[in-house]
Amino acid sequence: MTETTTTPDAAERARLVRSTRRFDLRRLLGGLFLLYGIICTILGIVHGSSDLKQTGGIAINLWAGIGMIVLALLFFLWDRLAPVPEEDILGNLDREADEKAAGEGKQLG
């Protein structure tokens, strides 16, 4: 395995780990559903009676809103309990030379 010429230093690595985790997909999903959940819950409270008329008696915005808030919290919890392993983030960095070789088609005949 060839060593890359630009092996990033420790500070650079720590920064990469932080930035990768900050934008973890689960946080984005959590954020999106938290917002949607809050919007639907508020509408469910404000429009209570007109909603019921359209749905035939189910407070759908309220239920969907609460459901989405719970989903959002589960995403945040999952992200907290199982953050992306450091070696997954950094492993990718160390493989740059291999990746370039693969991209140039050198592993293939």
Partner 1 sequence: MTTTALAGAADISIRLDLSWVDYLMLIVYFGVVISIGFIARSRVRTSMDFFLSGRSMPAWITGLAFVSANLGATEILGMAANGAQIGVATLHYYLVGAVPAMVFLGLVMMPFYYGSKVRSIPEFMLRRFGKAPHAVNSFAFAISNVLIAGINLYAMAIVIEAMLGWPEWVAIVVSAAFVLVYITLGGLSSAIYNEVMQFFVIIAGLVPLTIVGLHRVGGWGGLKDAFAKTDSVKHLSAWAGTGIGNVTNPIGANWLAIVLGLGFVLGFGYWTTNFTEVQRAFSAKNMSAARRTPLVAAFPKLFIPFIVVVPGLIGAAVLGNQLAGTSDATHLSYNDVIPKLIQMYLPEGVLGVAVTGLLASFMAGMAANVSSFNTVFTYDIWQRYIKPKMSDQHYLRVGRYVTIIGVLIGIATAFIAAGAGNIMTYMQTLFSFFNAPLFAVFILGLLWKRMSPAAALWSYLAGIAAPTIVWIAYLNDPSLFATGTAETLYGAIISFVTVLVVGVIVTMFTKPKDVSELKGLVYGVGKIDMSMDAVVGDTAWYRSPVLLGTVALILCVVLYLPFV
Q: State the residues that interact with partner 1 by CB under 8 A.
A: 19-20, 23, 25, 28-29, 32-33, 35-36, 39-40, 43-44, 47, 50-51, 54-58, 60-61, 63-65, 67-68, 71, 84-85, 87-88, 91-92, 95-96, 99-100, 102-105, 107-109
Instruction: Give me the DSSP letters along 14-83.
Output: HHHHHHHHHT-HHHHHHHHHHHHHHHHHHHHHHTHHHHHHHHTS--HHHHHHHHHHHHHHHHHHHHHHSP
Interhelix angle 86-94/10-22, nearest 10 degrees: 120
- The CA distance from 107 to 13, in Å, is 28
C-beta of 63 vs 76, nearer to partner 1:
63
Secondary structure of residue 101 in the 3-state scheme: helix
Please say which residue, 10 or 106, places its beta carbon nearer to partner 1.
106
CB of 10 to partner 1, least distance (A): 19
For partner 1, the closer CB: 58 or 77:
58
CB of 53 to partner 1, least distance (A): 9
